[in-house]
Structure 1
Amino acid sequence: MPKFTYTAIDASGKQKTGKIVANSEDEANSKLSASGLMVSKIAVAGSGGGPAKKTKAPSRSSGGAKSKKKASSFTIGKAINTEGLTIFTRQLATLLQAGLPLLRSLEVMIRQEKNAAFRDILSQIADNVRSGNNLSDGLAQHPKIFEPIYINMIRAGEAGGVLDVVLSRLAKFMEKNLKTKKKVKSAMVYPVVVVCVAIIIVALLLIFIVPRFQKIFSDMLGGAELPKLTQIVINLSNLITPKSFGSAGIMIGVIIALIIGFRFLLKSGPGSLAKDWLALKTPKIGDLASKAAVSRFTRTFGTLLSSGVPILQALQITRDIIGNAILSKALDRVHDRVRDGEPLAAPLEQQRVFPTMVTSMIDVGEETGELPEMLNRIADNYDEDVDNAVNSITSIIEPIMIVMLAVIVGTIVIALFLPIIEIIKQLTN
């Protein structure tokens, strides 16, 4: 029998590494899950942490092995978007609450699923369940679609025998997140449209209008020196006209290289910290970023706790998906202190990244034994604050974008009219 090395998280939130003997990677995963461990990495011993090689499994787990092998064909991109996954979760919860068994519910979902890629994945998950494995084990084989929060909530629901309730909570959680994302995206439509219109107008002016004026100036002024503003506009026009595509291509290449380098810098540790610190400190934007992060933290953490996920494991999952490096580091420190036996509210307050009202309400929730309900209540309040902040920023951005467009176009027009004034003077003389 081959040996597998693994890295996993136990029920107390501590990371464990070790070795296990099994016929296949699927069997090793099943054994570790049965012992209460959440596997984050597994590989054949001696392979240096690379992907585990498949070996023949016994007949009972052959369905799981087949499912794993099929899943590898869908590793590029996502087979379904967030909205589709939210609808699937809500429908599966409804079927289970109606009294249908899990396998029967999955078969119904497979028949009505129109997305071929996701239908194949659901078939693999159903095969996994049919062979005697848990639903969470099948979901864990598709990490690009089902995030850790999704898998862990399902696992907690299976352990507590309340899978339908947990799926309903998960669907509600995903629906609220999706609603917030859609509001933010809709608020950004207007600024993006204005920027695109401004770029098109400026490009048309520089490519078609400015060269004609340049010819007029050359004929009428006889090579006389043009005003500096006019000369700058003409130089820009010469840069992007078809005659200068070579130099323009070099400049575009440099700009693209700078953008790619900047993105890599932002994804690095220091760059990510700097970006998130700036996002929290920028006027108006910082208020929105802070409220959105608090809403995401309390909603995710509260949903995990109410679904039966242990507090340390819930803190780790929330830390990984909160989307802000500053808050993620703060939650890392909070996790260590809670693991040492401290209550949650005190270390949260000492990090100075969460509002006092939030830590006070969490303190009350701990004292009354209603922490999950209190966290979800905080999330509801902050969702409303996020909506108001988005509306406020949108109302400020709209006039700013209009003024910027007017200034850019107005500058080009003024630059073209300055030499015309000189021509009129010459004609008058």
Structure 2
Amino acid sequence: MTLYSYTALQDRKKEIKGEIDATTEREAVQNLRGQGLFVTNIRTGSQPTDLDIREQIKLVLPANWLPPKKVHYIQMYRQLSLMLMSGHTLLESLELCGTLAPRRRMMIILQEIRSDIQRGLSFAQAMEKFPKAFEPQVFELVRSAEASGELDSVLSRLANDLERMADMKKKLTTAMIYPVFVLSGTVALLILMAVWVLPKMSVFIDNLGSDIPASTANMMAVSAFIVDYGTELAAGSAITIFLLLASYTTLPGKRFFDRIFLSLPMAKSAITTSTMAQTGWTLSMLTASGVTIIDAMKICERITSNETLKNSFDRSASSILEGSSLSAALEQPFFPELFYKMAAVGEQSGELDRVMNEIGTYYNGELEANLQRMLAFITPLLTLLMGGPVAFVYLSIFQLIFAAATGGR
């Protein structure tokens, strides 16, 4: 027997939490359903004793009016799966998910989907009216699940796979925070010393009455330049950053920069491994749900952010339409050899969904290893590149103090 902690609605109004012993999660849900409880969340283990930090923030911030996040939709898929698994109709499940929605916009979307289903649309058709709210693969998965009658299990797997992809993207973001933080801090320190510390030393230098070291003179010249032209430098930097960001929002600009990213060794490794992990999991999920390989490849193209890799997926889909096998179609630039070799194994064994899931997990592990190697390389590099200018400033100051103490000798 396994201990499960749950959150449920009693009489569809009062939220209660508790624990139950059961052999499987489905059995736990059915037992709670027999007690007249409407299960909205269930997991293994006991109930936490303290409020999660996110729950504490929700108590003090008016987060209900903020746009829904991806994690909220993942939560919603889990809740729908649990409610359908416990025997509730789709309309009942959507109604209750709407009342539990952590964001007002999400509640409105679920209400409109429910109304469209009542008017005769399918669940997938109703969801397609909100392309910005749902992931591209969701529509095909739901359409296939409605046809097969396995909506509860497909939604559960969808939530798991989207959660894995979100965790993977979070790792990439976290890996970039450290170098950006160190770079920004160092630049801010250098600017502070140039516009505040060094000008205060100018009077002392003028009264020194002896020659100052060359390094100090150079440093003071740079400081004077920054002080005199600080406004122009700041404006020029801001305009340059704005133009770069604006160009990246255009398709030609994004293609140009994405190609550059793939020419940088460390960036290429991170981008390709994360894309292969995402593609493996997505292909596994879609093919296991009965989606055709052509539609699956088109979805992979749509969810890929790098324009160069998008083109590779587009060529793969075109090759399949012309009669190529999946493994042959995946032999594209920037696609690792292991990826299309494993696709061939999946095709030959008839277990493409299982093999693609394994390859996604493999590349997720490779991504973690690559990020660790990247951080191990970047840390000393940043120390040299960012610490060098700071060391030069301190060295110039100490040389000045030494020159003053020795009378310039």
Same-fold status (TM-score > 0.5): yes
Matching of residue 278 in structure 1 with residue 264 in structure 2: no
Contact 1:79 1:145 in 2 (8 A): no
**Equivalent in the alignment of 1:234:** 220
Given candidates 229, 237, 242, the residue that maps to 1:260 is 242
**Equivalent in the alignment of 2:152:** 164
**Equivalent in the alignment of 1:102:** 90
Q: Residue by residue, what CA displacement relative to the aligned partner does 1:60-101 show, whole Å, maximum 9, x if unpaired?
A: xxxxxxxxxxxxxxxxx9821112221111221222122211
Q: Residue by residue, what CA displacement relative to the aligned partner does 1:85-118 show, whole Å, maximum 9, x if unpaired?
A: 2111122122212221111111111122232222
- Structure 1 residues 136-175: aligned runs within 5 Å: 136-175=124-163
Given candidates 185, 207, 220, the residue that maps to 1:219 is 207
Contact 2:66 2:103 in 1 (8 A): no
- The one-letter amino acid paired with 1:237 is S
Q: Residue by residue, what CA displacement relative to the aligned partner does 1:328-373 show, whole Å, maximum 9, x if unpaired?
A: 1122112112112221111222x24322222111112112222122
Deviation at 1:297, TM superposition (A): 1.7
Cα distance in structure 2, aligned partners of 1:165 and 1:125: 20
Contact 1:305 1:372 in 2 (8 A): yes
Structure 1: tracts of 5 or more residues without a match? 1-76
Deviation at 1:157, TM superposition (A): 1.6
Distance 1:221-1:130 versus aligned 2 partners, 3 A rule: farther
Cα distance in structure 2, aligned partners of 1:125 and 1:221: 81
- The one-letter amino acid paired with 2:366 is D
Given candidates 189, 193, 198, the residue that maps to 2:186 is 198
Deviation at 1:256, TM superposition (A): 1.6
**Equivalent in the alignment of 2:372:** 391
Contact 1:213 1:416 in 2 (8 A): no
Deviation at 1:232, TM superposition (A): 4.2
Distance 1:315-1:411 versus aligned 2 partners, 3 A rule: same
Deviation at 1:272, TM superposition (A): 3.2
Cα distance in structure 2, aligned partners of 1:142 and 1:397: 41
Contact 1:136 1:154 in 2 (8 A): yes
- The one-letter amino acid paired with 2:79 is Q
**Equivalent in the alignment of 1:410:** 391
Contact 1:180 1:383 in 2 (8 A): yes
Matching of residue 323 in structure 1 with residue 311 in structure 2: no
Task: Specify the SS of the correspondent of 1:284.
Answer: helix
Task: Specify the SS of the correspondent of 1:220.
Answer: coil
Cα distance in structure 1, aligned partners of 2:123 and 2:74: 17
Matching of residue 345 in structure 1 with residue 327 in structure 2: yes
Distance 1:272-1:407 versus aligned 2 partners, 3 A rule: same
Deviation at 1:178, TM superposition (A): 1.2
**Equivalent in the alignment of 1:334:** 316
Contact 2:284 2:352 in 1 (8 A): yes
CA RMSD of aligned residues (A): 2.5
**Equivalent in the alignment of 1:368:** 349
Task: Specify the SS of the correspondent of 1:354.
Answer: coil
**Equivalent in the alignment of 1:382:** 363
Matching of residue 314 in structure 1 with residue 296 in structure 2: yes
- Structure 1 residues 34-53: aligned runs within 5 Å: none
Q: How many residues align?
A: 345
Cα distance in structure 2, aligned partners of 1:300 and 1:221: 73
Contact 2:77 2:158 in 1 (8 A): yes
Contact 1:78 1:144 in 2 (8 A): no
Distance 1:295-1:162 versus aligned 2 partners, 3 A rule: same
**Equivalent in the alignment of 2:283:** 301
**Equivalent in the alignment of 2:114:** 126
**Equivalent in the alignment of 2:72:** 84
Cα distance in structure 2, aligned partners of 1:418 and 1:90: 65
Structure 2: tracts of 5 or more residues without a match? 1-64
Cα distance in structure 2, aligned partners of 1:296 and 1:228: 55
- The one-letter amino acid paired with 1:261 is L
Deviation at 1:270, TM superposition (A): 4.8
Deviation at 1:386, TM superposition (A): 0.8
Task: Specify the SS of the correspondent of 2:97.
Answer: helix
- The one-letter amino acid paired with 2:310 is S
Task: Specify the SS of the correspondent of 2:108.
Answer: helix
Matching of residue 116 in structure 1 with residue 104 in structure 2: yes
Deviation at 1:427, TM superposition (A): 5.9
- The one-letter amino acid paired with 1:306 is A
Task: Specify the SS of the correspondent of 2:121.
Answer: coil
- The one-letter amino acid paired with 1:408 is P
Cα distance in structure 2, aligned partners of 1:198 and 1:119: 45
Cα distance in structure 1, aligned partners of 2:408 and 2:328: 81
Given candidates 275, 281, 288, the residue that maps to 2:270 is 288
- The one-letter amino acid paired with 2:219 is V
Q: Residue by residue, what CA displacement relative to the aligned partner does 1:33-67 show, whole Å, maximum 9, x if unpaired?
A: xxxxxxxxxxxxxxxxxxxxxxxxxxxxxxxxxxx
- The one-letter amino acid paired with 2:338 is M
Cα distance in structure 2, aligned partners of 1:283 and 1:148: 30
Cα distance in structure 1, aligned partners of 2:408 and 2:276: 68
Moved more, 127-136 or 188-197: 188-197
Cα distance in structure 2, aligned partners of 1:180 and 1:114: 24
- The one-letter amino acid paired with 1:319 is E
Given candidates 169, 176, 187, the residue that maps to 2:164 is 176
Deviation at 1:412, TM superposition (A): 1.0
- The one-letter amino acid paired with 2:364 is D
Alignment TM-score, normalising by the size of structure 1: 0.73
- The one-letter amino acid paired with 2:344 is D
Deviation at 1:382, TM superposition (A): 0.8
Deviation at 1:310, TM superposition (A): 1.9
